[in-house]
Amino acid sequence: MKKLRIVQVVGTRPNFVKSAPLSKALRENSKYFDSILIHTGQHYDHNLSQLFFSDLKMPEPDIYLNVGSGSHAQQTGTIMIELEKVLIRLKPDLVIVFGDVNSTLAAALVASKLCLKLAHVEAGLRSFDNTMPEEINRIVTDRLSDYLFVSEKAGQVNLKNEGVQKEKVFFIGNIMIDSLVNNIETAQKSNILDRLHLEPYKYITSTIHRPSNVDNSRTLQILINCFKDISNHLPVIFPCHPRTRQRIKEFGLLNGNDNGQFRIVEPLGYLDFLKLQSKSKLVMTDSGGIQEETTYLGIPCITLRENTELLATVDVGSNTVCGTDPRKITSTVEQLLDGKYKKSGIPKLWDGNTASRIVEVLKEELL
């Protein structure tokens, strides 16, 4: 029996986390699949790239496109140009993309133009905010995909409302939780709390990186001031994305330095950050993946966006969407500290077995 050639395209930290368990499941089924991993290089900083491959025990990418940074158009276009050459040479039976980043959109467009089968892991999520580049990436990728792997029930509803054939849609759960389940025991051995001189549940973790939050000096100033105010209650630890740190320096906010109990630290690897958030009293973030991870961990989360595509994290989980209104953020923090925060649960099929379900679907559909 001829093995099917499966190409996974990744480019950013969340992609690596989603790809790791699927790569492992495909290797375990090497009788049926020849799996090739392509890294576009969208995230190229050590702590946002190579360190994650090491933490997740992923093999090095088979192909590295090394596209680097740039505007959305430049980055997407460069990935398309380089990826087209590779896919023409490889002639895969299926291209798999993850999430909603520029690498996802670029790979979807190239695969579609080359008439290659396309699968989208984490399909159907919608924020209904077209000012978010990620929303455009999601919509276009879903429209082009032959297999849409859905992580929560809202995704099924959205795709049905958009007229996607139900035969293309598979509710398989949240693959990010596979990585969390596979690595949480190892992560607990991290000494990150000792290195940062922290006690469990006596600090708050914060992250921001989205352009809407960090490219606007006023918005970024509001959030920094809010973090500083909240740090009067508990230390606020801020692992700082390189792009965010650059903006902080450009806008002259804190001069990029720690400020009292509000502590700016370097980006962390996957295991260190998983340990940090798992022992947090609260997490404040604009990251989609962190909304998912905190929901599974049962750690209260404040989302620093006006909306979220991850409705299950709000409806079932620990997440509260506060936007960038400091009064709403502070009020939610006070509720938590007063012991009045909502109870949460874990959404259906967020159980650590999503990758194996995807592989079973691929066997049934492709072999």
Return d(Cα 87, Cα 22) in angstroms, integer: 20
Long-range contacts of 240-246 (CB under 8 A, 24+ apart): 240/264, 240/265, 240/266, 240/267, 241/48, 241/207, 241/208, 241/209, 241/214, 241/267, 242/45, 242/48, 242/267, 243/209, 243/214, 244/208, 244/209, 244/214
CA distances from 3 to 11, 188, 362 (A): 26, 38, 12
Q: Name the H helices within 251-337.
A: 270-278, 288-297, 311-315, 326-337
* Residue showing tokens 């630290």: 265
pLDDT of residue 84: 98
Residue stretches of the chain with pLDDT short of 70: 43-49, 255-259
Backbone angles phi, psi at 178, to 5 degrees: -55, -50
The beta strands (E) that lie in the chain are given as: 4-10, 33-39, 63-64, 94-98, 118-123, 147-150, 169-171, 204-207, 236-239, 262-265, 282-285, 301-303, 319-321
Question: Comparing C-alpha atoms, which of 172, 19, 162 is closest to residue 101?
Answer: 19
Residue listed under structure tokens 């992250």: 207
Task: Look at phi and psi of residue 343 and say left if phi exceeds 0, alpha if psi is from -120 to 50, else beta.
Answer: beta
Q: Which amino acid is at 227?
A: F
Q: Is 209 a catalytic residue?
A: yes
> Across-strand partners of 119?
96, 147
**Predicted pLDDT at 52:** 78
CATH superfamily of 185-337: Glycogen Phosphorylase B; (3.40.50.2000)
Which residues, listed in sequence order, are joined to residue 9 by a DSSP beta bridge?
A: 38
pLDDT of residue 170: 98
Provide the terminal-to-terminal Cα distance of the chain, rounded to the nearest Å. Answer: 9
Q: Which of 39, 43, 209, 241 is catalytic?
A: 209
Other beta carbons within 10 Å of 213: 18
> pLDDT value at position 41?
86
> Where along the chain do its domains lie?
4-173+350-366, 185-337
CATH of domain 4-173+350-366: 3.40.50.2000
What confidence tens digit (pLDDT) does each residue in 260-302 have?
799 999 999 999 999 999 999 999 999 999 999 999 999 999 9
Question: For residues 174 and 181, what is the distance between their CA atoms, to the nearest angstrom?
Answer: 11
Type of residue found at 48: L
With vertex at residue 25, the alpha carbon angle to CA 21 and CA 27, rounded to the nearest 5 degrees, is 115
Pull the structure tokens for residue 225: 């001031």
Pairing of strands 301-303, 147-150: unpaired
Contact 94, 67 (CB under 8 A): no
